[in-house]
Amino acid sequence: MKDLWSDDDCGFDDALGCCAYGSRLLGGDRSLVLHGGGNTSVKADWTDITGPTVDALYVKGSGWDLASIEVPGFTPLPLDRLHDLLGLDALSDADMMDELSAARLRADAPQPSVETLLHAYLPFRAIQHSHADVILGLTNVADAEDTLAEVYGDDVVVVPYVMPGFDLAKAVQDCWADQAHEGTVGMVLRHHGLFTFGDTTRAAYARHVDLISRAESFLDRVVPHEPAGPCEAAEAVLTELADLRRSMSVAAGRPMVLSRHHDDAIGRFVARPDLADLTGRGPLTPDHVIRTKRTPMVGRDVDGYVAAYGAYFARNEGRTDDDLTMLDPAPRVVLDPDLGLLTAGATPKDADIAADIYRQTIPVLERLEDGRGGYVALDEGHLFDCEYWDLEQAKLRRVGAPKELAGHIAVVTGAASGIGRACAAELLDRGAAVVGLDLSGSVVETFSGPAWLGVPTDVSDHDAQAAALRAGVERFGGLDLVVVGAGIFPGSAPIADLDLDTWRLTMAVNVDAVAALFRDVAPLLFRSPVGGRVAVIASRNATAPGKGAAAYSTSKAALTQLARVAALEWAEHGVRVNVVHPDNVFDTALWTDELIAERSAAYGMTPDEYKRRNLLGMGVGAAHVASVVAELCSDRFAATTGVQVSIDGGSERTI
């Protein structure tokens, strides 16, 4: 492990600022900490508003990620009170968290870590804790005690697995009394991770670097891990991905995102003849179980996985006197010899977290199984306790109710600007994952975050459009919503002066591209777990054409007719197809200030009057169109297909 500490980069003289900096160093290393794991603390003075100084523990607060934590992410608590709690013989996790919450010295501080009492007990000012892969590599083997002694001698205290909380703090007290001495520099919690400590965070971090490096050197010497060789990924059949996603969504009771991952390391791993046995033993650490389930699904037998999960629940629900409700039994990690690694979640972020965890898991499993006599996971009962632990479930509940389109997957064409962009923004805001297509390369960065995939695409190039669709399905697993927003408006010209190349280009973009898109998305929409929904952005010109717009008006009329036929044909598959007809949506690239000035002058109006020349006297924006499109794609219009909705503020020509 490389020592990344820099006093210049730290820039803090105070203990808490240095703790935050050192925490970010740990959190920035994915082999040490993933997605909210690990915790750190420092003991420092707290000055009460009335004057007295209190010796306090500043511990990482729940909800903060070590990779980005700042000083406000640490919760101050009085050490005297924490030591009082440590003196109790027993304390439930719920009562412990209530007491810790009440003891906070800052009212707006986050809830403190569940391992707060452990931090309070350790007799050092600064503490760092990670779930380092190499430490798990030393402890997830049959001879873990001998291995740890070979690597560290008696430099570390070794603690058997105990679930985090009050019981772990008490177990550490007992182990510390038996094993600690003046030369103790760290503590290894089996199946859990590493603690290091010192008078300063700099010292605690240096010890982390030392102990991790010693573990790395040992494993490299005793169990060298060969890099993966070339492994060509099979091209996924998109309908097979969509079928798998639908089955998993049915099992979960809600639409799920399913992301595909494949590289040389994954390809080698999923080809192992012992794949089911090795991966069926359990995760590297119980902390992963709420993100990945206890085991991945090997292959595509969702019904078999669901039945096995139900049996696992039945075997273990008696471990507590509480009435438990079984969590959804759908897998979160899938390992398939052809498809590679697939990860599922209620959102793309959830699926990505599962992928990050399992990518880190693969090399550890390979190394231990092939070179240390076999990988050994924590027993099933302890994993169940963690999966159904109230405090872990509370983390998930704090996320809140899902958004209405959570788990839904949309394709939006013309998504980089104008109405298409507004539609993509609205769908993202309602929780959907969105694949945005646009001729402009800016579509890649039109939005950010795991729910967005922007693909530069010329929709008139049918192969390019199909490739973009493939990228979207491999990223998110299927398709539920389609919004047709891409289109062009050629310059006005009377039919007598019609340019046939312009005519053909207009038809190619406004009609032919949509026909090709409909052909390609149909089998995916038929497999949607929520029923496919399509919204077509046509135009007022489709029903009320204007002079000089023959190509545009005709293309939009043809597009409308195409959508009507799709509504007729796809209804038996549960797919809804509806059309919206915007008019004079002025906050799009089509309407420049110069064009608005020109047109308003022709009507003898000011630009503002021209923008409001409709029955309602209102300005119509792209957001108005987007809100109607999103509603048509929602469950509130479950009984509606084949309709055409004008969004123009009211027009005598269309009414």
pLDDT at 346 over 70: yes
pLDDT classification of 362: cutoffs 50, 70, 90: very high
The answer, as to whether pTM is greater than 0.85, is yes
Strand partners, 535: 483, 578
pLDDT classification of 10: cutoffs 50, 70, 90: very high
What DSSP string runs through 275-324?
A: HHHHHTT--SSGGGHHHH-SSPEESS-HHHHHHHHHHHHHHHGGGSSS--
* CA dihedral sign, ordered 24, 30, 36, 37: negative
d(CA 434, CA 525): 15
Please enumerate in sequence order all residues whose Cβ is within 8 A of that of 391, keeping only pairs 6 or more positions apart, or say none.
93, 94, 97, 114, 165
Q: By CB neighbour count within 10 A (0-12 exposed, 13-18 middle, 19+ buried), where does 240 fall?
A: middle
High-pLDDT (> 90) share of the chain, %: 85
CB 77 within 8 A of CB 100: yes
pLDDT at 139 over 80: yes
Q: What pLDDT score was predicted for residue 147? A: 93
What number of residues does the chain have?
655
Side chain identity, residue 213 = S
Pairing, β 297-298 against β 452-456? unpaired
Q: At what angle do helices 513-525 and 462-476 cross, to 10 degrees?
A: 30
High-pLDDT (> 70) share of the chain, %: 98
Q: What pLDDT score was predicted for residue 29? A: 93
Q: At what angle do helices 380-387 and 302-316 cross, to 10 degrees?
A: 90
Pairing, β 481-484 against β 409-413? parallel
* CA dihedral sign, ordered 6, 12, 14, 18: negative
Q: What pLDDT score was predicted for residue 226? A: 75
Q: Using one digit for the tens of pLDDT, what is the confidence trace for 578-636?
A: 999 999 899 988 788 888 898 889 889 999 999 999 999 999 999 999 999 999 999 99
pLDDT at 204 over 90: yes
Q: What pLDDT score was predicted for residue 121? A: 97
Q: Using one digit for the tens of pLDDT, what is the confidence trace for 209-247?
A: 999 999 999 999 988 877 777 777 778 899 999 999 999
pLDDT classification of 655: cutoffs 50, 70, 90: confident
Strand partners, 410: 434, 481
pLDDT at 151 over 90: yes
Q: Per the residue annotation, which of 58, 205, 312, 552 is the catalytic one?
A: 552
CB 535 within 8 A of CB 483: yes
CB 322 within 8 A of CB 391: no
Q: What pLDDT score was predicted for residue 106? A: 94
Q: What pLDDT score was predicted for residue 349? A: 96
Strand order of the sheet with strand 297-298?
257-261, 340-345, 333-336, 297-298
Annotation marks residue 552 as catalytic? yes
Q: What pLDDT score was predicted for residue 395? A: 63
Mean pLDDT score, 509-532: 98
pLDDT at 559 over 90: yes
Q: What angle do CA 214, 217, 221 make, to 5 degrees?
A: 140
What DSSP string runs through 528-542?
A: -TT--EEEEE--GGG
Structure tokens at 78: 């009085």
pLDDT at 502 over 70: yes
Q: What pLDDT score was predicted for residue 399? A: 64
Question: Which of 443, 438, 634 lies closest to 531, judged by CA?
Answer: 634
Q: Can you list the alpha helix ranges (DSSP code H) found in 122-231?
A: 133-139, 144-152, 166-179, 201-222
Q: By CB neighbour count within 10 A (0-12 exposed, 13-18 middle, 19+ buried), where does 321 fall?
A: exposed
Mean pLDDT score, 341-355: 97
CB 451 within 8 A of CB 434: yes
Q: Using one digit for the tens of pLDDT, what is the confidence trace for 26-72?
A: 999 999 998 878 999 999 999 988 989 999 999 999 889 999 999 99
d(CA 303, CA 282): 20
